[in-house]
Homo-oligomer: A and B are copies of this chain.
Amino acid sequence: MSATLHEITTPGLTENGWITDWNAPGVVGFTKQFEDVLNGVQRMIYATETVSKQDTLNFPPVIARSVIDTTEYADSFPHLLARIKTLDEDDAPKYLKGIADGTPEDEMLETSDVVVVPAACYSLYPLVADGKVESGKMFYVAGNCFRAEASTEIGRFRSFRMHEFVYFGTLDECTTWRDRRADVAIDIFAELGMKAEKELATDPFFRPLQRVMAPSQIEQQLKYELVVPITEDRNIAIASANLHKDHLCHRFEIHGDDGGISNSTCAAFGMERVVLALIAHHGLDFDAWPPSVVDALS
């Protein structure tokens, strides 16, 4: 689609001042040059809707396990979820003695009440749980997410930032909103010099391992991914538009205007991947990026 993609490698990204070396696969630091571009993308995304300060939320990278259990995330993606184990302060001396004696550390730890956040919007749902939400209510949520993926290929960040608009309404309203948001994302990427394609996603999110007989996510057309090329033969998804129908609202008992269970949908951006795609399109040398792209970001 683009004949002039720039090759991006980890050494090339570090040498040109974008990222640091990793200390674990998929875990890198980001320089101010990278962050400035990421923040520019964030401003462009945020400017496409009007959301109040109070509904614009930044969430921490941990979340109550009970919330994740309510979403049934571990039923669908048990391998992606990072559980946390800790130690009571009172047990610290016993722990250190145990370590000295060769006791396996894990045996002395206890499962924490929190896990690492797998998707930013999960922190939002408990805040509107057990209540009413009017049709058309929209939030902007951001946060660091973690998914325990095995791959080390470029762009497969295990730790990454997800920014999302989340919308509540009837099923029709949510479907219309989801489709429109996919187009808005395509427009943002076009302004940044990238031609994104809308693809029906193949990774379902409703208990795929258990409900093998259920209609597939693809048949229901619940999830669109927006993909761009980052090498001549590889596309990556840099955003998605997801129709949750009433699944999450049912789990959190969120009711709509008519008293029935609300529907919800979200439009999510993988922020590091957007920046990575921009580098692949415009080159490792930020100073040589097209003025129109730099203008859009500033």
Contact = CB atoms under 8 A, between A and B. Distances in A.
Interface of A: 17, 20-21, 23-25, 27-36, 53-64, 66-67, 75, 78-89, 91-93, 95-96, 99, 105-106, 109, 111-114, 116, 123-124, 126-127, 141, 144, 146, 148, 150, 157-160, 209-210
Contacts of A83: 84-86, 105-106, 109
A60 B92 contact: no
B86 A82 contact: yes
30 contacts: A20-B127, A23-B64, A23-B66, A23-B123, A23-B127, A27-B60, A29-B57, A29-B58, A29-B124, A30-B57, A30-B58, A30-B59, A31-B54, A32-B53, A32-B54, A32-B56, A34-B58, A60-B159, A62-B146, A62-B158, A62-B159, A79-B88, A79-B91, A79-B95, A83-B84, A83-B105, A83-B106, A84-B116, A84-B148, A114-B158
A96 B83 CA distance: 16
Contacts of A30: 57-59
A209 B93 contact: yes
A27 B127 CA distance: 13
A81 B33 CA distance: 31
A264 to B, nearest CB: 17
Contacts of A146: 61-62
Q: Is the interface of A mostly helix, strand, loop or mixed?
A: mixed
A63 B81 CA distance: 16
Nearest to A34: B58
A86 B81 contact: yes
B86 A148 contact: yes
A35 B151 CA distance: 33
A53 to B, nearest CB: 4
Contacts of A28: 60
Given A59-B29, A113-B24, A114-B24, A92 B79 contact: yes
Given A32-B53, A56-B31, A87-B148, A24 B79 contact: no
Contact of A23 (B27, B36, B67): B67
A154 to B, nearest CB: 16
B78 A96 contact: yes
Nearest to A108: B78
Contact of A31 (B35, B57, B148, B209): B57
A29 B123 contact: yes
Contacts of A144: 60-61, 144
Q: Which are the 8 A-B pairs with shortest beta-carbon distances?
A: A60-B159, A32-B56, A32-B53, A24-B64, A86-B148, A61-B61, A79-B89, A23-B64
